[in-house]
Amino acid sequence: MFLLVKAAGKYWRMNYRFAEKQKTLALGVYPAVSLAKARKRRDEARELLADGVDPSQAKQDAKKSQNSAAMHTFQKIALEWLHKTATNRAASTQEKVTNWLNHDVFPFIGTKPISTVGPRDVLSTVQKMEERGAIDSAHRVKQICGQVFRYAVASGYAERDVTADLKGALAVPQKGHYAAITEPQQVGALLRSIHGYDGHPYARAALQLSPLVFVRPGELRGAEWSEIDLDAAEWRIPGHKMKMDADHIVPLSTQAVTILREIQPMSGHGKFVFPSIRTADRCMSENTVNAALRGLGYTKELMTAHGFRAMARTIMDEVLGERVDLIEHQLAHAVKDPNGRAYNRTAHLPARREMMQRWSDYLDSLKNGAKVISIRKS
């Protein structure tokens, strides 16, 4: 080891032989690198030589690795994963995952090289969501981060999925039913409130249609005009949008068709039945129907957008005496035939069509203040 003195400065150097060639290794610039530090680097180089490794090549490899790590940040890899796996998710889910990453993950660990992100980094990120009460979302985001890490491992950008170390670190979300009104008299009052809602026409139409079709909120807001045949009074939802990953048919009552025909002049030229008021390229926000209910005075403990499903399931069975298997079909739940095989999407379609019309007529009678029947006691 020696100190090379030039007009521009003083440089620590080490001469060595590797593969029968004379080489020189740069150890740093004096005085930024002290004599003690230069000697330490020399000793590390000697250890590499003893193991049959060229110190100069090892230094170049380390520099390349550092540059690669700096380029492959968590955000870059996450966006790459998001793009490549987009076809596996419904458009609404893709939007939700993108928003979670943009708002709750990237501001905290997005700029870090993914190879340097540790379990505590991820935990600190999702705990911020947990602290504001979004416990379910915190668990979902942890799972998403895990998927990004597994993609990074497969692509050679990370050694392992560090979220595996976080098992049990988050609060357990409380399981429970979505709040729903199931007493006919209260349903009548709700329907009258909905009839008087004076918000945006898209929100109004979605709110009016919710009890008539009782699909999941994400399925309703993601409805596309190409899926709906108003003349046939039928809405066919493709399987990739459904929770059970199977195509689903929603017979449309005359009341539902009327609502859709009223909104068609406004949104019929675009893709979505209920587009975002900011851009027609996206459907309305997942909070729109719930926000409309809050505006009508119905708290989340009393009624939710998802609660229209429970409302239909309870009253159609316990008040109207509709066949349970038809109700379950229309809720897009798994229903088996006597041989244990799943029914196809067209099973009992004529009977379901009649049931949906009876349901809409019954809701009209409640809204108009007709005498209601008490729910049978089990």
Catalytic residues, by residue number, are: 216, 243, 306, 309, 333, 343
Instruction: Confirm if 67 and 115 have CB atoms less than 8 A apart.
Output: no
Instruction: Confirm if 180 and 293 have CB atoms less than 8 A apart.
Output: no
Q: Which residue has the tokens 């009223």?
A: 262
Instruction: Confirm if 166 and 122 have CB atoms less than 8 A apart.
Output: yes
Instruction: Confirm if 206 and 267 have CB atoms less than 8 A apart.
Output: no
Instruction: Confirm if 221 and 96 have CB atoms less than 8 A apart.
Output: no
Distance CA 316, CA 329 (A): 13
Six-digit token pair at 227?
């899926």
Instruction: Confirm if 366 and 188 have CB atoms less than 8 A apart.
Output: yes
Sign of CA dihedral 214, 219, 225, 229: negative
Instruction: Classify residue 197 by burial, with Cβ atoms within 10 Å: 0-12, 13-18, 19+.
Output: middle
b/e 25-38 (16+ beta carbons within 10 angstroms → b)? bebeebeebeeeeb
Q: Distance from CA of residue 252 to its chain's centroid?
A: 29
Q: How far apart are the first and last CA of the chain?
A: 91
Cα dihedral 286, 291, 292, 294, rounded to 10, equals 150
Instruction: Confirm if 127 and 170 have CB atoms less than 8 A apart.
Output: yes
Distance CA 143, CA 163 (A): 8
Q: Which residue type sits at 132? A: R
